[in-house]
Structure 1
């Protein structure tokens, strides 16, 4: 088992701290115990920190406002969401001025618009240059997925496959005590499996931007300005695996998806530390 300690002890072992949001600082019911105190402790000691979240549904301003309203005092500069990776990804693929379908909120779509992309509805008659899955917050989710699937297939038929981009690869999120909901990664996986059935070896897959992708972690390390950091997360296969990939320490926090039993049986993905919570 990883070394078990308190947050107050952990923060003295590293120059900076990276927090996951859902399952560590908050869940759908509100702030988790000790979250606000943990952030205030870092602020009192002028210790750098970032909230590195796969939630691509909110701008940094809205995300910070929500956390502050729940008693977790952060500023927009403390937020590094997977949504913030969308614009650079479109630019890297030469699609900054392209036509892009974005499954998610208006804030999700704005991440694409910020680099000059035109956000369009999925249409088999006019396939887009890229599809971005950012969040499950679409009013007509099933209809949107149906239209995206049909659009991709029509584009394939004409030999111009759109780039598929997944901002939030999380399958589920903690909505409360022993309560969970599906999120964006689950719907990307549905599309991938449907495309595999229909296109076999020609089926495209999504490029992942959020944790555990090194894209997200390397952006966090560049923003925080040091590699002497620890990533606090509640999920082994995103938070902990991603930290392991880029060679930084990690702490599993048992207030979200992962249980103590999960940690005890983990083999390939093993956190450096274990916290029962932030209190």
Structure 2
């Protein structure tokens, strides 16, 4: 497997879509060279968007978090979160009522901003399930894995309501070598047990990519998929999503996909990035 320099990879494209964790930062902090790369992309006239499956933060909070790590060049309006696409769905599909959610109180802001009432699964009154109009898987934390997940399964056995998954990631890193189950894994387990299919947002689903293109229309009205490069560290979300949407893809080895296993993972998954590079900082 041959890796290439990101500066050479990105040169022909008008727009760059960047995953956040694993591309801009990782467990060690900001990835070396990221600040300089973002500045270079700006000088070259590239349009930048950050696409993150993290539904725990609003775009404003995500931008502040990047500033905390030392990256000041990404404003909130350039960040597309899976929570924002979930909010769009809830706004148009659920007119009123309560949405039961798994996640932190902060992640429930997407429900409130859709004009709905959010109630944590732990607080749902099982005797009044007629009040629940939808269920949302929002964040990896904020609930008891045993008690709340079992309660959710029983809730969904009794309620035929829309279920949305804001974060389709299966794992998230907790240290340099260890991972934990992410929201997408919990949702898949529930789908399997219940024999149902939920509405999924976040990469690899196409909604985030379409949101990104729509948001860039003012800066680049003639933009086509051929002008766009998606950069990510995960084959099954970033690269698969970009490939499916028809944009070029670059896998970086600075996050979830490790240099020593990357070639094997590409071969075994059949998900082929157009490019592979060490990081966007090289």
Fold match, TM over 0.5?
A: yes
Matched ranges for 1:28-67 at <5 A: 28-67=27-66
Cα pair 2:266 2:272 within 8 Å, conserved: no
Q: Which residue of 1 aligns with 2:151?
A: 147
Large movers: runs of 4+ above 6 Å: none
For structure 1, the 5+ residue unaligned runs are 156-160, 196-202
Q: Deviations for 1:90-140, whole angstroms, at most 9, x for unmatched residues?
A: 1332x0423101212233211111121111233322221111101112143
For structure 2, the 5+ residue unaligned runs are 218-222
TM, length-normalised to structure 2: 0.87
Q: Which residue of 1 aligns with 2:205?
A: 213
Cα pair 1:109 1:119 within 8 Å, conserved: yes
| 1:276 maps to 2:278 | yes
Cα pair 1:54 1:169 within 8 Å, conserved: yes
Q: Which residue of 1 aligns with 2:242?
A: 243
Cα pair 1:102 1:108 within 8 Å, conserved: no
Query: d(CA) in 1 for partners of 2:34 and 2:265?
Result: 22
Q: Deviations for 1:187-240, whole angstroms, at most 9, x for unmatched residues?
A: 112212222xxxxxxx32211111000111111121123231100011111111
Q: Deviations for 1:61-80, whole angstroms, at most 9, x for unmatched residues?
A: 11111111112221111210
Residue 120 of structure 1 aligns to a residue in which SS?
A: strand
Residue 56 of structure 1 aligns to a residue in which SS?
A: coil
Query: d(CA) in 1 for partners of 2:12 and 2:178?
Result: 33
Q: Which residue of 1 aligns with 2:220?
A: none
Cα pair 1:29 1:175 within 8 Å, conserved: no
Alpha-carbon deviation of 1:22?
Answer: 1.3
Residue 177 of structure 1 aligns to a residue in which SS?
A: coil
Query: d(CA) in 2 for partners of 1:29 and 1:178?
Result: 12
Aligned length: 265
CA RMSD, 1 decimal: 1.9
Alpha-carbon deviation of 1:264?
Answer: 5.0
| 1:132 maps to 2:131 | no
Cα pair 2:3 2:276 within 8 Å, conserved: yes
